[in-house]
Structure 1
């Protein structure tokens, strides 16, 4: 009996040695590349969920866009992979001699993919009814969402940039990246010394442009700046544009609902639907007497999800949160969406500790998550029916194809590392994060989460640490 006991102890020690070796070498790697106090790291066996290594694993850290791992997973379960955003078109009044003596209403539910093609569908729906002219107003019902349209913590100087866009129940996207609540301004050179020309996609959308730029000779430096003046609908173009070059940038709109209605009205007029000179663009709920004449549906959530994760689309994250809040609590605001995310975490038995969410994008400095909790989420979700949608949406390291590599396409690019890290990136001021799945040198799959604060060269140091850790596993 004594010999059996000794043999059991010996075998236990032998099996424990590799894990102890991992921990020791990984500890050195973490301390060297990521620091000690301002870093949180957890690594799990992807198959068993066993924690291989953890440093400050229960420390609440700012997750930046790693929060999208949670808001995205919660959206897939709460809304469903087949969920579609609906934008409804209503009219009231009477139609006589191709004239609608009444109003046109747009009722939104937050579709982040709504674009000019959809606007044209609205026009065709009116034309099928024989409408060629409207005497009333174009009215937007954005009551599905409430609260502040701006994500908490967005700095004044960032409000012009696409990553800090406002979100409402009626918004628009200028392209297939689904950067909701933005327009794209492209600047083209003209004659040397003259102001360049410009184009706006989908259209001006109620904005005005102040073009203060100048065309300069070929070979000179391109110094074009395209920004929206704070708290206004004025886009200012400044700087020099050399002949033979162009410049393009995304600019947020100050009022997504109103600006989208302007874009829709412009599209309708381009489709030869006239509005009376007295017609206005206003926000108001659809009255009971209005008639539904067309319903536009977005593509299913599963088909837009990859753009959300691979390109780390902030506006989509906040829209998903508001949509979840509306569905579960009847209130389409960020606090309600955060409550749904908390509920989801509890159902997955995730160790949340002092987690806190105030948005769905991770843009706010008020969010808090732990690396142990994130890795537990990534372990638990593997058994969900929507896991493949979730997993395939994550950026693939070193894959230069933008639709595959996403925000990791220029990281881990060596032949030995390409495709071995499939993970979500995260960045806000003084914060860097990377969480997902990685393949060790042994061929085994691991789940990991790294969050660091106040560390110079954060991306480079995380990549060095992950590369070294993969060699050690």
Structure 2
């Protein structure tokens, strides 16, 4: 068992023993890797298996997020381009309208209304041709590594496309929201789709039941189909809400876009189709839309642990650094970024930006070294302010930690990134000990179906000795 303490930085043997006891008695020493550093100096104060590679789950976003800030930059924006290919006469485009995607995960109804406005300003009121989506910026498989057939239907496992949309300001790209409300007992619940069904079909096989009965309602898309099934029982007085991933983000986004265009007064010919393709050399660029900056996306990305944005960042890093917007190229540049910062990454391996894959491996030693090193970077404020703040009920502050460490004694003391995949739970960030001194920590835990109570009880005990 590896235990390291550094007496020169003020962590006493009593404190080391107390932290180790918390691991032994609460967490279980064989299931976890833990490291504490002095936040100011970066000195290792305590290490339990700190160099042991573990699955990081969404703690991987600390790495991909830092790399996005460091390589792409805080002011980086994704662009979506609109092209026309054909003749425009009397408001009628005799030809195709092409959308070239740049990986913007924030596209939504408001953006598409703006697109329609630009088309009308250009003089287009009718399109006799196809609506074509060029998503070739991101080559290869759209399903993220580590996402299986079951996960493909959930928004956390949504496909990654250069053309996508989000249902709201959380930027859960490539998804729609389906809500259900109860009716009279024995009747089907009503449902609502946000923002639009986008080519999917819904079968409502659910029933409204008495308030005393169990809520068994499920809203799921059948794998690799456009069929969304609402099933089970919804008691009166309750409701349901689920994020459903898009079957084909490019096509489904274009279908919603076409719907908005029509609502805004741009007609399509009955023969017009929604298809994937590429921008021909004969096409004319008429409008470029820019996303919010990386810095502006960062709170939604980190506070809500957004998987799609993580993978989009990695692919765009590959595009900017290697000329290819895929995982391999992006992660090659991420590794080079870490080496440049002199982060110890021996034993590290990663295949995505989100941490969804069970093939990813990080160490608490490397994570804490990164968290210390980032403090010297000009983008650290953006990074730090995006971390969930434990116990803060405002979801844009507390994020994924808003319902953890809610006791007043932990107020404004834990700023950290959560992580979860099956039987893996992680928490890494910055903490204020009972002494008032600030520390950097990383806890990576495996082997529990419900690991949050172990981490939370363990960290609560550890901070008593800091």
Quick one: which of 374, 384, 393 aligns to 1:381? 374
Contact 1:150–1:167 under 8 Å retained in 2:
yes
Quick one: which of 151, 158, 161 aligns to 1:158? 151
Quick one: which of 292, 301, 308 aligns to 1:299? 292
Aligned residue for 1:70, secondary structure, equals helix
Residue 263 (structure 2) pairs with residue 270 (structure 1): yes
Residue 437 (structure 2) pairs with residue 458 (structure 1): no
Quick one: which of 343, 348, 356 aligns to 1:355? 348
Per-residue CA deviations over 1:134-170 (Å, capped at 9, x if unaligned) read 1100001111111221111112222221111111100
RMSD across aligned positions (CA): 1.6
Residue 284 (structure 2) pairs with residue 281 (structure 1): no
Quick one: which of 375, 382, 389 aligns to 1:396? 389
Contact 2:167–2:175 under 8 Å retained in 1:
yes
Matched residues, number: 461
- 1:5 aligned partner: none
TM-score (norm 2): 0.96
- 1:50 aligned partner: 43
Give, in whole Å, the separation in 1 of the partners of 2:295 and 2:39: 24
Give, in whole Å, the separation in 1 of the partners of 2:441 and 2:92: 62
Residue 228 (structure 2) pairs with residue 235 (structure 1): yes
- How far residue 244 of structure 1 moved from its aligned partner, in angstroms, is 4.7
Quick one: which of 401, 405, 428 aligns to 1:435? 428
Aligned residue for 1:172, secondary structure, equals coil
- How far residue 240 of structure 1 moved from its aligned partner, in angstroms, is 2.6
- How far residue 218 of structure 1 moved from its aligned partner, in angstroms, is 5.2
**Unmatched 5+ residue regions in structure 2?**
1-5
Quick one: which of 372, 380, 405 aligns to 2:398? 405
Give, in whole Å, the separation in 1 of the partners of 2:105 and 2:442: 29
Counterpart mapping for 1:146-225 below 5 A: 146-217=139-210, 220-225=213-218
Per-residue CA deviations over 1:342-394 (Å, capped at 9, x if unaligned) read 11110110110110110000000000000000000000000000000000000
- How far residue 416 of structure 1 moved from its aligned partner, in angstroms, is 0.8
Aligned residue for 1:32, secondary structure, equals helix
- How far residue 295 of structure 1 moved from its aligned partner, in angstroms, is 1.2
Per-residue CA deviations over 1:194-244 (Å, capped at 9, x if unaligned) read 333322112111111112123345554433211000110111111233445
Contact 1:22–1:53 under 8 Å retained in 2:
no
Contact 1:22–1:52 under 8 Å retained in 2:
no
Give, in whole Å, the separation in 2 of the partners of 1:313 and 1:102: 38
- 1:9 aligned partner: none
Aligned residue for 1:37, secondary structure, equals helix
Residue 114 (structure 2) pairs with residue 121 (structure 1): yes
Aligned residue for 1:29, secondary structure, equals helix
Give, in whole Å, the separation in 1 of the partners of 2:273 and 2:217: 35
Residue 73 (structure 2) pairs with residue 80 (structure 1): yes
Give, in whole Å, the separation in 2 of the partners of 1:244 and 1:470: 42
Contact 2:9–2:45 under 8 Å retained in 1:
no
